[in-house]
Structure 1
Amino acid sequence: MNIRPLSMLQPGEVGIVVQIAAGRGLTRRLVEMGITPGTHVKVLYNGPGPVVIMVRDSRLVLGRGAAMKILVEVDGVDI
Protein backbone atom coordinates (compact mmCIF):
# COMPACT_ATOMS: atom_id res chain seq x y z
CA MET A 1 0.00 0.00 0.00
CA ASN A 2 1.29 3.45 -0.92
CA ILE A 3 -0.30 5.82 1.61
CA ARG A 4 0.76 9.47 1.59
CA PRO A 5 -0.61 12.85 2.65
CA LEU A 6 -2.68 14.44 -0.12
CA SER A 7 -0.22 17.35 -0.12
CA MET A 8 2.51 14.99 -1.44
CA LEU A 9 0.67 13.93 -4.62
CA GLN A 10 1.68 15.40 -7.96
CA PRO A 11 -0.76 16.95 -10.45
CA GLY A 12 -2.59 14.17 -12.29
CA GLU A 13 -2.21 11.63 -9.48
CA VAL A 14 -5.35 9.99 -8.15
CA GLY A 15 -5.85 8.59 -4.68
CA ILE A 16 -8.48 7.15 -2.38
CA VAL A 17 -8.97 8.85 0.99
CA VAL A 18 -8.15 6.35 3.75
CA GLN A 19 -8.04 8.64 6.79
CA ILE A 20 -8.49 12.23 7.88
CA ALA A 21 -5.98 12.88 10.66
CA ALA A 22 -7.46 16.16 11.88
CA GLY A 23 -9.47 17.57 14.73
CA ARG A 24 -13.26 17.57 14.80
CA GLY A 25 -13.68 21.01 13.26
CA LEU A 26 -11.51 20.40 10.20
CA THR A 27 -12.83 16.86 9.79
CA ARG A 28 -16.42 18.15 9.80
CA ARG A 29 -15.57 20.82 7.23
CA LEU A 30 -13.86 18.30 4.94
CA VAL A 31 -16.80 15.89 5.22
CA GLU A 32 -19.17 18.73 4.30
CA MET A 33 -17.04 19.29 1.17
CA GLY A 34 -17.40 15.61 0.24
CA ILE A 35 -13.97 14.44 1.37
CA THR A 36 -14.63 11.20 3.24
CA PRO A 37 -12.81 7.86 3.55
CA GLY A 38 -13.26 5.88 0.34
CA THR A 39 -13.60 8.98 -1.84
CA HIS A 40 -11.47 9.25 -4.99
CA VAL A 41 -9.55 12.52 -5.31
CA LYS A 42 -7.47 13.82 -8.20
CA VAL A 43 -4.80 16.49 -7.73
CA LEU A 44 -5.11 19.26 -10.31
CA TYR A 45 -2.50 21.67 -8.91
CA ASN A 46 0.08 21.26 -6.19
CA GLY A 47 2.58 24.08 -6.19
CA PRO A 48 3.42 26.81 -3.72
CA GLY A 49 0.32 27.66 -1.74
CA PRO A 50 -2.96 25.78 -1.85
CA VAL A 51 -3.66 22.36 -3.36
CA VAL A 52 -6.42 22.17 -5.98
CA ILE A 53 -8.25 18.84 -6.20
CA MET A 54 -11.20 17.29 -8.00
CA VAL A 55 -13.67 15.46 -5.74
CA ARG A 56 -17.06 14.12 -6.85
CA ASP A 57 -17.08 16.32 -10.00
CA SER A 58 -16.26 19.44 -7.94
CA ARG A 59 -13.05 21.44 -7.93
CA LEU A 60 -11.90 22.28 -4.39
CA VAL A 61 -9.04 24.39 -3.06
CA LEU A 62 -7.43 23.25 0.19
CA GLY A 63 -4.80 24.93 2.29
CA ARG A 64 -1.54 23.00 2.50
CA GLY A 65 -2.08 22.29 6.22
CA ALA A 66 -5.47 20.68 5.59
CA ALA A 67 -4.10 18.70 2.63
CA MET A 68 -1.34 17.31 4.87
CA LYS A 69 -3.97 15.82 7.19
CA ILE A 70 -5.77 13.87 4.46
CA LEU A 71 -4.11 10.49 3.98
CA VAL A 72 -4.68 8.81 0.63
CA GLU A 73 -3.77 5.51 -0.98
CA VAL A 74 -2.23 6.43 -4.31
CA ASP A 75 -4.24 4.87 -7.12
CA GLY A 76 -2.10 5.96 -10.08
CA VAL A 77 -2.17 8.76 -12.61
CA ASP A 78 -5.28 9.79 -14.51
CA ILE A 79 -4.26 11.59 -17.68
Structure 2
Amino acid sequence: MTQLSALEIPDALYTQIQGMALSQSSSINEQIVTLLQRALDIEAQRQSQAKILQDIHQARWTPPAIAPDSVTLLREIRGYDF
Protein backbone atom coordinates (compact mmCIF):
# COMPACT_ATOMS: atom_id res chain seq x y z
CA MET A 1 0.00 0.00 0.00
CA THR A 2 1.30 3.43 -0.90
CA GLN A 3 1.79 5.97 1.85
CA LEU A 4 0.91 9.58 1.36
CA SER A 5 2.72 12.00 3.61
CA ALA A 6 3.16 15.74 4.03
CA LEU A 7 -0.50 16.31 3.28
CA GLU A 8 -1.64 19.68 4.55
CA ILE A 9 -5.22 19.50 5.84
CA PRO A 10 -6.94 22.57 7.28
CA ASP A 11 -7.58 22.27 11.02
CA ALA A 12 -11.37 22.49 10.69
CA LEU A 13 -11.42 19.72 8.09
CA TYR A 14 -9.14 17.53 10.20
CA THR A 15 -11.43 18.03 13.20
CA GLN A 16 -14.44 16.95 11.13
CA ILE A 17 -12.63 13.84 9.87
CA GLN A 18 -11.48 13.06 13.39
CA GLY A 19 -15.04 13.31 14.67
CA MET A 20 -16.32 11.04 11.90
CA ALA A 21 -13.59 8.51 12.65
CA LEU A 22 -14.43 8.49 16.35
CA SER A 23 -18.15 8.06 15.68
CA GLN A 24 -17.48 5.11 13.39
CA SER A 25 -14.78 3.54 15.57
CA SER A 26 -12.17 3.83 12.85
CA SER A 27 -8.81 5.48 12.54
CA ILE A 28 -8.35 8.84 10.89
CA ASN A 29 -6.44 7.10 8.11
CA GLU A 30 -9.31 4.65 7.50
CA GLN A 31 -11.78 7.51 7.48
CA ILE A 32 -9.75 9.49 4.94
CA VAL A 33 -9.47 6.44 2.68
CA THR A 34 -13.23 5.84 2.99
CA LEU A 35 -14.02 9.45 2.13
CA LEU A 36 -11.66 9.43 -0.85
CA GLN A 37 -13.17 6.18 -2.14
CA ARG A 38 -16.69 7.60 -1.84
CA ALA A 39 -15.66 10.73 -3.71
CA LEU A 40 -14.11 8.65 -6.49
CA ASP A 41 -17.20 6.44 -6.72
CA ILE A 42 -19.48 9.48 -6.97
CA GLU A 43 -17.28 11.02 -9.68
CA ALA A 44 -17.23 7.76 -11.65
CA GLN A 45 -21.04 7.59 -11.43
CA ARG A 46 -21.33 11.22 -12.55
CA GLN A 47 -19.09 10.57 -15.56
CA SER A 48 -21.06 7.44 -16.45
CA GLN A 49 -24.34 9.36 -16.31
CA ALA A 50 -22.89 12.16 -18.41
CA LYS A 51 -21.76 9.61 -21.02
CA ILE A 52 -25.21 7.99 -21.10
CA LEU A 53 -26.89 11.38 -21.53
CA GLN A 54 -24.45 12.29 -24.30
CA ASP A 55 -25.18 8.99 -26.08
CA ILE A 56 -28.93 9.61 -25.79
CA HIS A 57 -28.55 13.11 -27.17
CA GLN A 58 -26.48 11.89 -30.12
CA ALA A 59 -28.94 9.09 -30.87
CA ARG A 60 -31.96 11.41 -30.81
CA TRP A 61 -33.84 11.43 -34.09
CA THR A 62 -34.21 14.75 -35.83
CA PRO A 63 -36.55 15.25 -38.75
CA PRO A 64 -35.13 16.31 -42.10
CA ALA A 65 -35.05 20.03 -42.77
CA ILE A 66 -37.77 19.77 -45.43
CA ALA A 67 -40.28 18.02 -43.12
CA PRO A 68 -43.32 20.14 -42.26
CA ASP A 69 -43.90 21.01 -38.64
CA SER A 70 -46.66 19.34 -36.62
CA VAL A 71 -48.95 22.38 -36.67
CA THR A 72 -48.94 22.45 -40.47
CA LEU A 73 -49.67 18.71 -40.62
CA LEU A 74 -52.60 19.03 -38.18
CA ARG A 75 -54.07 21.91 -40.17
CA GLU A 76 -53.87 19.85 -43.36
CA ILE A 77 -55.50 16.83 -41.68
CA ARG A 78 -58.30 18.94 -40.19
CA GLY A 79 -58.82 20.90 -43.41
CA TYR A 80 -57.91 24.33 -42.06
CA ASP A 81 -56.70 26.91 -44.51
CA PHE A 82 -55.04 29.82 -42.71
Task: Say which structure is richer in helix.
Answer: 2
Tell me if both proteins adopt one fold, taking TM over 0.5 as the criterion: no
Structure whose alpha-carbon radius of gyration is higher:
2
Task: Report the TM-score, using the length of structure 2 for normalisation.
Answer: 0.26
Task: Say which structure is richer in strand.
Answer: 1
Task: Report the TM-score, using the length of structure 1 for normalisation.
Answer: 0.27
